[in-house]
Chain A
Amino acid sequence: MKIAVCVKQVPDTWAEKKLDGGDKTLDRESVDGVMNELDEYAVEEALQIAEANSGEVVVVTMGPDKATETVRKALSMGADSAIHIADAALHGSDALATSLVLAKAIEGKGFDLVIFGSESTDARMSVIPAMVAERLGAAQLTFANKVEVTGETVKIQRVTDYGYDEVEAASPAVISVVEKINEPRYPSFKGIMAAKKKPIEAVGIGDLGIDAGQVGLAAAASQVESFESAPPRAAGTVVTDEGQGGVQIADYLSAQKFI
C-alpha cells in the first residue's frame, strides 16, 4: 500500500504572524517555521496504516526551501521518502494553485491513500484536501476522527456538527484527519539520524507540467487589497469578587440588554 501524506510548514503558533507590507503575502521569513500541528496527526495516521498494511509513506510538501525542516521532521517520525515542491514561481499561490500543484505531484504515482491535516493554522481554509480530491477525481473522505482500512475499502467517521457520518469508499481515496484521531509520536534519536539519509526529491513546477502563469501571486484568483491591524479591544472593567460578582455581571448584562 502506497500512502502520500501532505504536510505544510507554517509559522510557529506563538509567533506574531504578519502580512508583508509589499506584496501582502504572509511573511514566512521573519518567523520560525513548524510543521502544521494537524499534519502531525496526518503523518501519524499514515504511519499507523502503513505499519498495519506493510505500506510505504511518501511525504509531499509545497513550500520554500526552508520547508525542508518540516519534511525532515516527517521523515524522522518514520516516513520513507519525500517530494518537496519548491519553486520561486509559487510564492503567493492561492488555494486553486496549491491544490493544482499537490494534485499534479500526486497524480499518476499509484497512491492508494493521500492523507492531509484538516486545516492549516495559517491559512485556516480547510479546503485543500477537498480541492485535491476534486482534481484527482478520487473519493473524498475528509474530517476523519477514525479511519479503517480493510483491503481496498476505506471507512471513516466524518465529524459533523451533530456527531459523525460514516463514509465509505474504495481506494484511491483522499483523507483529512482531525486532531482527536491519534497521538502523534515524537521522532526518536534513531529516527532523526535515519531521516538524514532518506531521499527527498526536489521538484519544480516545470517537472509537473505546470506553467509559471498558472501559479503564484500574479495568477491568484483572489487578491488581498488591503489589511490593517484589528483595533485593540477597548480595555474593559475588571472587578474582584467580594461575594457579589455574579450579581455584578448580571447588572452588566442587563445594561447591555442581554437579559
Chain B
Amino acid sequence: MSDKNPEAWRNDAYAKVTGKTKYTDDIKFPNMLHGVPVYSDFVHAKIINIGISAASEAEGVVKVITAKDVPGSNKFGQILKDFQIFAEDKIYYNGDVTAFVVAETREHAIAAAGLVKVEAEELPAILDPETAMKKNALIIHEDYGTNIINEHKVRRGDTEKGFSESDIILEEDFSTQYIEHAYMEPETAVCNPRYDGVIEVYGSMQHPFSTRRFVCALLGAKLSDIEIVGTPMGGGFGGKDDTAAIVCARTALAAKLTGRPVKTMYKREWSVRESYKRHPYKVHYKMGLTKDGYIKAVECKIIADGGAYCSVTPWVTWRSTVQCCGPYVVENVHCDTYGVYTNNVVTGAMRGFGSPQMNFVIESMMDIAAGKTGLHPVEIRRRNMVRQNSITITGQKLDNHKVAMEEVLDAVLKEFNYEDKYKKSSHGVTDTDELYGAGFAMSYRGMSLGAEGVDFCSAVINVQADGSILVETGIHENGQGSESAMCILTSEQLGVSLDKIRYRRPSTSVIPDGGTTVASRGTVMGGSAIVLAADKLRKLMTPFAVKKLGCDEDKIIFENDMLSDPAKNKSVKFDEIIKEMYSSRTYPHAMGIFKAPVVTWDEENGQGNAYFSWTYGCQAIELTVNKTTGKVKLLNAIAAHDTGKSVNKVMTQGQFYGGMAMGIGYGLLESLNQKDGIIKSLNFNTYRIPRSTDLPEMKAVIIENVDPNSPSGAKGIGEPTNELMAPAIANAVFNATGKRYFKLPVKITNK
C-alpha cells in the first residue's frame, strides 16, 4: 500500500536523496586540524594531575588543551552553570572530558589521546538518586550544597479529604529507563577563525543561539565575536543541545588557540558515552476514586535522575509536574517532584521532555483503575477527561482553544475499530500460542515552552528585485522539515509559487535570537513570525497595487503570483509590483515578531496558566505475545492528534510515524546498559533502536483545529506523537497477558 502523496514537498529533498547535503563532517577548510576528546576511567574522583606531556610531544600533535587553557568560564549551563567543559578539580561522571588533543590528522589525535594520563583519587560514586537525596549523602557538587537540583510541586485542593471520599485507593510504583537519542549523525563541529577575528562555527547542534552562549562563555568572547552557522543536521530529537554545544565550544577554543580551522567529529562510542540521555524516573503514584470511577485525589512523588550536571532537568521535571495527572480533571492533587544529581550519565532534553515517563505512569494507572472499578477503560477516561472550559490541576481554564480530548479519542476508537479489537483481547487465556491484546493511551500537552522561559521569535521575508524571495527565521532545521514549513507558509501568505522561495542559510549573526528549537515550537513560533512578516509585507505592497489597478486597498488579494481585485477582474504580477517598489526606493522587506501569549506560574503552590495552548492526542496498538517465548509482535498502530493547522500534511504524518516508532523503542526495545556509572552499550549492537522489521502497520489521523492563540494556527506535533506508544503497549500487553508491567521497557517474563 502506497501513501504516495502529491503534496509532499521539502526544500531539502533533492539534496538529501542525491547525497549532496553538506552535514558538518562534510565541510572542510584548508589547513584544518582535528580535535579528539580524552576521557578517564573514573566515575567520581578528585583530580590530582592531568599529564599531557607525552601526548603533547606525540607525532602530529599541535596542542593538548585542558581546563588550564580556558580563557573564559570553564563551567556553563542553561540553568545552573555547573557543566564543566573540561574536567578541572573533579570528575563527575565517566563522560567527563579531561583533555582535548588537537593534531594534524584525526588519526594522530586519536593516537595521542591514549597518552594523556589522568591521576585522580577515587570518590564513592553516588548512582542511586534516592541515596543521593538522603540527608547525610556525599554532596556531588559541593558548592551547590545539596544533591537535589530542583523541586517542583502541585498543591491543589485537599488530598486528605479527597482520599477520605474515595471508595478505591490505588498505589503503585513505576520506573522508566534511560533513552539514548541515537541521532544517526554523531556530534560534529568545524570552527574556522576568520580574518576579521570572528570564529565561525558549523556544527551538528539544534540550537545555534544556545550553542553561541556556550562558545562565548568558554572563550570569554562577546556574542558578536562568534557566528554559528546553521548546518544540516542528522537528527537531534532534543539531544543536540548541551553536549553538542560543548563539542562546538571545545572546537572553537582549539581554533582560537591554534589560529587554524579545527574539526571534531565524534565516534559513536564517544557520543553515547558523553551525551546526555532522557531521564529515568521513579514514580510513586497514589490515586483515589469513587466506585463510579471519578478520580477524587492524586498524590505522587517523582524522582528524576539528573546525572552529573543540571542541564535542563528543572524544565523537564516542570513539565512532568504540570502534566502529572494527564488529561484528567482532579480537584485534589499533591505532587512533589525532584531532579537529583548522581554520578550517572547526564540527563536532559529529549523529545517528550518529561511527558513520556509520566504518561506511562498515568495511562497505566487509568487502566488499573478501570479494572478495579469494572468500568471500560474508555468509559473511565470519558468520566474524568478535560473538556471545554475544564480547569486543569494547576488551575488553568481551558477556554482559549478547542479542547479536543474526546475528539481524538473518538477518532482512534472509530478508525482503529478499537472496540472489536479490545473485546478480542486474550487476558491471559488462549487456545493458541499467541496471546492477543489491544491497548490505548491518551494525553494532553502544553504548547511550546510555557513558563519554562522567554518565548518569542522573529522571521524576515526579503523580496529581491526580481521577485524571488529569501526567508529566514530564528528556528533551526533539525531534520523535521521546519525550513520547508516556513517556505510553504510564505507561499500561502503571499500567494506566490514555492519555486520563488529560498530559505536563507541561517546564522546567529544575521537573524535575532529566536530561542531554541525545542518544545515542538518551531512551526508554532517561527511559523507565526512568518505570518506576521507576510502581513507587514502585504501592507507594504498593497499601495503599489492600488495605484496600478485603481481599486480599493481592502479588495486586493494575493494569489497565483499576482495581486488582484477579483470583482473588477484586474490583476498585476507580483514581480511587477516588486520592480515598482525598488524603483520607488521601497524595500519589500519585512520582519515579523511573534511573542507567545503570556503565561503565569506560582512556584510556591504549583498553580498557574502554565501554557498558552494545549494539544490533544490518542494512540492505540494491537499486538500478540508468544506464550512460550514472550516475544511481542506488533500488528497495527494508530495515532490521532490535534495538530492545529497542519502546514504540510505529508510532513505532519511523517512526524506521527517517527514519533510512534521512537515510542515503540521506548515501550519495548530500548534500554541503556549502565553499570556502576559506566555505559556498556556504546553502539547499535547493544543499544537496540527500532528497525524496519520491528514496526507495525501505522495509521496517522490528523485532527486540524486551528489554534486561535497564534497567527500560524499550528500546534507542535513532534513530541506529542512520541509520548503515548509506551503506555499503549503496556496496556495492550496487559490485555493480552493479564500481567501488568510497571517498568520500561516492557520485558515479558513468564513468571
The answer to whether A and B assemble together is no
